[in-house]
Amino acid sequence: MEKTKILVIDDEEIVRLSYVRALAGEHCSVEVVTNGLDALQVMEQRPFDVVLLDMNMPGMNGMTVLRNIRQKWPESEVIVITGYPGVESAKQAVTLGAYDYLAKPAGPDDVINAANAAMLHKRWALRSSPALASMAA
């Protein structure tokens, strides 16, 4: 079975390291970038199944990154993780197509559960949508 490819986008090293520690292993390969521009450049090279996206980063903010990912890579599931949670930003993230929205600090179990749920959702979406399935092939 192919490994789940996860991209972590966060400007805080401690956060990136904790997500890698929680997720990397036999079933997942995890890459990290520190900002939205780098994330979009990496995604141009190779697609990711799940993206863990910080909202507040220097340069391009998380909502802009989310909008770009949903337009260019609709088969990627995006989980927004923010230290500044709020009803408005949660609604905006979901409206823009985020699969899930977590508040920092998100513990390892929260991150693992969200990533697993996103992958299950992606698999079902591909199974039920021939257009998406052919794009992912």
Average pLDDT (7-32) is 93
Average pLDDT (73-86) is 90
**What is the reported pLDDT for 137?**
43
pTM of the model: 0.87
Query: What's the order of all strands across the beta sheet hosting 4-9?
Result: 28-33, 4-9, 50-54, 77-82, 100-103
Q: How many CB atoms lie within 10 A of CB 24?
A: 15
Q: How confident is the model at residue 127 (pLDDT cuts 50, 70, 90)?
A: low
Q: What topology is assigned to 4-136 in CATH?
A: Rossmann fold (3.40.50)
**What is the reported pLDDT for 116?**
92
**What is the reported pLDDT for 133?**
46
Token pair of 61 as six digits: 């903010």
Is 70 exceeded by the pLDDT of residue 17? yes
**Residue 29, H or E segment:** strand 28-33
